[in-house]
Amino acid sequence: MVFYLARHFGFCYGVENAIEISYKALEENPSKRVFLLSQMIHNQEVNRDLQNRGIRFIMDTDGRQFIPWEEIRPEDVVIIPAFGTTLEIENLLLDKGVEVQKYNTTCPFVEKVWNRAEKLGVEKYSIIIHGKPGHEETRATFSHSSKDAPSIIVRDMDDAVQLGNYMLGHSSRETFFAKFDGKFSTGFDPDRNLSRVGVVNQTTMLATETQGIADYFRQLMVEKYGAENIQDHFADTRDTLCYATNDNQDATYELLETDAHLAIVVGGYNSSNTSHIAELCARKFPTYFINSEAEIRSPAEIHHFDYHNKQKIVTPNFLPGKDPVKIVLTSGASCPDTLVDRVLLRLLEFFPEAKPVDALLAVW
């Protein structure tokens, strides 16, 4: 067997920090109720462990309430997850007297996007957010940027082009409002607010896609207002991409250069950055997105997640009859490295002739 491991994979700074603070919150408050606004990170194992230690989730990742706000009391501990939260929820908790800053695990790289959005707002730009409208981080970024600037969310290049069509006068106001319903800030006027824009992103989107969207709007502004006036109409925001997302995606591009037969990507099924890594791998290899080694039922059966249709599927005979079998193995930013180890060991069980891991590691 040959495994190709990504140069960068797994836990990022923001996730490690969030997990550390959550366990600290439990340790420091043995007699208090400890809540998490929503799942700490998009990893079921970590979330389950935290729940087993007594943490309760207030909402699910789509913002559906498990515990009504009326049940939250001032003395409760409420942890804000790595994605951050909306200003509305933060204010609601502050009004209740909950000390939200003590265990606020909002990732500094997400805050960096908020700060950039604020600066753009001061400079009178409107903000185009490239993100998934239902994702916690995008909801939080939208809430923060809407405070400072007219803001609108585009999910992908299709959305960007539809917005661009309006900006170029190729579609009607009705079409705009129908298409972007619920994705723009209160009072957003597409006629007034789209002549000076900057693009920021949900930090775990595909970096190349964000760049493509930013380039698209830049070019559109050049067409509309002339290259000499571009600075008055488009802000360069390349620096809002998160380092971990960049590193993990760049490392995945390198994996695409290998001669592997298949790819296995490990991570939570609701993890945005993991699904993007799976998406990249699928450009070249049959790719199986799994959340643990338990999904590899036998050499002839793997249960994995189809991120396009958001459903689990089963693939028989996923291991090709090659000798050696070459497998790309990587994981998302919210996946503990031990999970990748377990997947590797699980696969090795099917190849009794393969060199034992200990013998290989002894060399190092």
Task: List the one residue from 47, 204, 275, 287 that touches ligand SF4 (CB under 6 A).
Answer: 204
Give the nearer residue to ligand SF4 in terms of CB position, either 42 or 261: 42
- Bridging pattern class, strands 126-130 and 34-36: unpaired
Binding mask 287-326 for ligand SF4 (x = CB under 6 A): ----------------------------------------
129 backbone dihedrals φ, ψ, rounded to 5°: -100, 120
Task: List the one residue from 9, 57, 103, 109 that touches ligand SF4 (CB under 6 A).
Answer: 109
Asked if residue 203 binds ligand SF4 (CB under 6 A), the reply is yes
DSSP string, 112-161: HHHHHHHHHHHTT-EEEEES-TTSHHHHHHHHHHHHHS-EEEE-SHHHHH
Judge whether 57 and 66 are in contact, CB under 8 Å: yes
Give the nearer residue to ligand SF4 in terms of CB position, either 15 or 296: 15
Asked if residue 141 binds ligand SF4 (CB under 6 A), the reply is no
- The catalytic position among 137, 279, 293, 295 is 137
Give the nearer residue to ligand SF4 in terms of CB position, either 193 or 331: 331
Question: Residue 85 gets which letter from DSSP?
Answer: -
Rounded to a whole number of angstroms, the CA Rg of the chain reads 22
The residue of the chain with the least Cβ separation from ligand SF4 equals 14
187: left (phi over 0), alpha (psi -120 to 50) or beta: left
CB of 234 vs ligand SF4, minimal distance in Å = 24
Task: List the one residue from 12, 79, 221, 327 that touches ligand SF4 (CB under 6 A).
Answer: 12
Residues between 321 and 350 with contacts to ligand SF4, criterion CB under 6 A: 333
Asked if residue 244 binds ligand SF4 (CB under 6 A), the reply is yes
Residues in the interface with ligand SF4 (CB under 6 A) total 15
137 is catalytic: yes
- Bridging pattern class, strands 34-36 and 262-266: unpaired
Residue among 94, 186, 205, 79 at smallest CA distance from 143: 186
92 backbone dihedrals φ, ψ, rounded to 5°: -60, -45
Task: List the one residue from 237, 245, 275, 330 that touches ligand SF4 (CB under 6 A).
Answer: 245
CB of 288 vs ligand SF4, minimal distance in Å = 22
Helix (H) or strand (E) holding 215: helix 207-225
Q: Quickly count: other Cβ atoms within 10 Å of residue 316's Cβ.
A: 9
Asked if residue 110 binds ligand SF4 (CB under 6 A), the reply is yes
Asked if residue 47 binds ligand SF4 (CB under 6 A), the reply is no
44 backbone dihedrals φ, ψ, rounded to 5°: -65, -35
Active-site positions read 137
List interacting residues with ligand SF4 (CB under 6 A).
12-15, 82, 107, 109-110, 203-204, 242, 244-245, 273, 333
